[in-house]
Chains A and B, each alone.
Chain A
């Protein structure tokens, strides 16, 4: 029989692992009906009168369920079943990487809920609510501009997450200075210094996100080690954006990273991208003419006089 499928679709949510009952719309409990799941007929064992009962649902139960009146095969009710979980307590973090302009808060759920969640964030400072400007992307982040600086009052941020199966929230409070954490230094470059077999010149730049280096200078932490040794050496630098490593092992390749921190407040940035460099090494000197007779030489492209022992070799090369 032709199924008539004109019916607006409903949505129903069910919690993972629970039983769920779906009624056939307004059809009488005792009526004879047929249920399909994604257009596949469901056997009578799932029925309780005209109600559909699904036990211990899992994600695979999500889908479209349709209820047809027994004799006329008329579609009486259609529902989209979405199986998921209520939200767990969200993880919320706030940080200022462009102090003193402002700070951002970002959040995530410790585990997926499989159904749509909505987040609401409120920021309070000195008992006033401050706007948290939502970023276009990423979606789970918003930005707060500092209206005042050097405040002794704590910021209080509350994040509430809601979905069809429940709600949860978390609140953090912090001092203005505690969340200051610059981005890592940029454009880190390490170079050998000619004629200095134990030195490396390292230069870097302020993170481009740090807005006012004059008033808010950063200090830096440099760590370096030869690739072959697993032990970092560190040096803290309170001024400037370059440093000469003077105790490098001659000829050994080094790995170098830099971190940054405001001079007075907050915490250290993450480490910068690692750069590699090997100190200057002297060019291997070629034998002088006296020592020629006693030593065979490999071919050399250097500008030194080609030893006579290679004359035959040259004439062969010219013949080819």
Chain B
């Protein structure tokens, strides 16, 4: 459970990091993207970004494996998108590029942490994500995709925090230890 707590703490740290990063990035995108009430339609490009939205009852009934797998797959996808965001940020904005790189590295850490928990609980990792990030055919559509990517990331981190809260309470430490022993640790 210790590693679930650490993963939860990492999620909170990422959430905090993203809060600042998103504000900076949206300001870089400029109006209307940085306006609080901006509520654009979600176009095809952005539809491919894995959505955190989930049916309430379904989410409640997810077992631990499915809950972790959903997180793992989402961040695998989101990391691919983040890399495309990197390319779009002008070299003239080193601070933003640095923040993006730092955030991406932390997110990679979260992915590794989730994989670790899944392994320790004996769950198979979901298949790797095919890199199918669509390239928008206009600068404005690119910005729209980035807007939705940041929003999804924020929402996924909230969802993950709730998922790990649930797991912390439900996964007894012995379950983790038992599995490690059977794997000869």
Interface residues of A (CB under 8 A from B): 100, 146-154, 156, 173, 177, 214-217, 263-265
Contact = CB atoms under 8 A, between A and B. Distances in A.
B165 A152 contact: no
Contacts of A149: 53-56, 59, 159
Nearest to B49: A152
Interface in B23-58: 37, 39, 42, 51-56
B146 interface: no
11 contacts: A149-B54, A149-B56, A151-B155, A173-B39, A177-B158, A214-B165, A214-B166, A215-B162, A216-B162, A217-B165, A264-B12
Given A215-B162, A263-B161, A151 B39 contact: no
Contacts of B162: 215-216, 264
Nearest to A178: B36
Given A100-B56, A148-B53, A154 B39 contact: yes
Contact of B56 (A148, A153, A214): A148
A150 B52 contact: yes
Contacts of B59: 149-150
Nearest to B52: A150
Contact of A215 (B39, B148, B152, B166): B166
Interface in B127-177: 148, 151-152, 155-159, 161-162, 165-166, 169-170
Interface of B: 12, 15, 37, 39, 42, 51-56, 59, 148, 151-152, 155-159, 161-162, 165-166, 169-170
A153 B161 contact: no
B55 to A, nearest CB: 6
Contact of A152 (B148, B157, B169, B170): B148
A215 to B, nearest CB: 4
Contacts of A214: 165-166, 169-170
Contacts of B55: 147-149
Nearest to B157: A264
A156 B165 CA distance: 29
Contacts of A177: 155, 158
A217 B167 CA distance: 13
By Cβ-Cβ distance, the 8 closest A-B pairs, closest first, are A150-B52, A150-B159, A151-B53, A215-B166, A152-B151, A214-B169, A154-B39, A264-B161
A124 to B, nearest CB: 11
Nearest to A156: B39
Q: Give the residue among B12, B37, B165 with the most A Cβ atoms within 10 A.
A: B165
A147 B56 CA distance: 6
A171 to B, nearest CB: 11
Given A173-B39, A214-B169, A152 B155 contact: yes
B53 A152 contact: yes
Contacts of B151: 152
A100 to B, nearest CB: 6
A156 B162 CA distance: 25
Nearest to B162: A215
Contacts of B37: 173
Q: Give the residue among B158, B159, B169 with the most A Cβ atoms within 10 A.
A: B158
A263 B55 CA distance: 22
A153 B53 contact: yes
